[in-house]
Amino acid sequence: MAFCNINDNRLTYLRVVVQNSPFRIDKQLKLRMVNSVSSQNNLVSVRNLTFSRGSKKIFDDISLDFQRGKITAIMGPSGTGKTTLLKLIGGQLFPERGSIFVDGQNVHQLRRSDLYDLRKRLGMLFQSGALLTDMTVFDNVAFPLREHTHLPESMIRTLVLMKLQAVGLRGARDLMPNELSGGMSRRVALARAIALDPMMILYDEPFTGQDPISMGALVHLIKSLNTILGLTSIIVSHDVHETSVIADYIYVISEGKIVGQGTPAEIQQSDSEWVQQFMTGAADGPVHFHYPAKEYVDDLLSSGKRY
């Protein structure tokens, strides 16, 4: 599965060539040429995204880029809209303002048939695994192949066994979902997510509820599959250590804004108090331990009436 990947060195070289050209090139044209090179290196581009639920603003004019062939993490505490961002990228939700481009296509301007075609090129690992409970492991992985292709059953069998082998569960193909451990369920769901050979996989809290061994297996699988299959991966997570181990780039989101971004090393050295509190798990800081309330002494001395 071949993609138009532009590595970092080539991208830097092209930028230098354009910016230092001996020919007289209009400044705006130079800027457009540099941005064109950069956009080719991004599989997903989010620009000036604003989205609200009721009166609560989830995203407030944020912009993000997800490079081809890289693992990019979206981190932040629960309730900051990380899963919502995945739904926006997949076209399940519409933004109030801004645009989202996936592989050069404006997601929210696509016709329904084109949007469905785009979704076939995206794999999704749901937080719960979302296996179909009345189907075997084999049939769960075969489901997207039977739904979206016209392959013969002999070919489907071969592909399913290949995907299960990749996640180490070929021997579990006849088990039902209720016979699987939590870690095994997540790995079966990952096999299903790669069944159609997607260009990108979206991971929604892949490490939640996993024991150390299962978590280690998932970390290894996400990294190795991304490298071997030439995938682009977006991971939504608040598991700091595991995500930092495999991510190439991290965005930290809070209260609708990007409060930190960079490589894992750059994030660890961030001078933002909020980022440091999140990354270290400090009990108090910009995010206070105490929920807003009146002064403690005043509360104790009050009449006890509700306020």
The values of phi and psi at residue 173, to 5°, are -65, -25
Concatenated DSSP letters for 150-167? ---HHHHHHHHHHHHHHT
From first to last of its 307 residues, the chain has per-residue pLDDT tens of 444 444 555 555 445 554 555 555 555 554 454 444 445 788 999 999 999 988 888 899 999 999 999 999 998 877 788 889 999 999 999 999 999 999 999 999 999 999 999 998 999 888 777 888 899 999 999 999 999 989 999 999 999 999 999 888 999 999 999 999 888 898 899 999 999 999 999 998 888 877 788 888 888 888 988 998 888 999 998 888 888 889 999 999 988 889 889 999 988 888 887 788 778 777 766 666 677 777 888 777 776 665 4
Q: In angstroms, rounded to a whole number, what is the distance separating the alpha carbons of residues 73 and 90?
A: 16
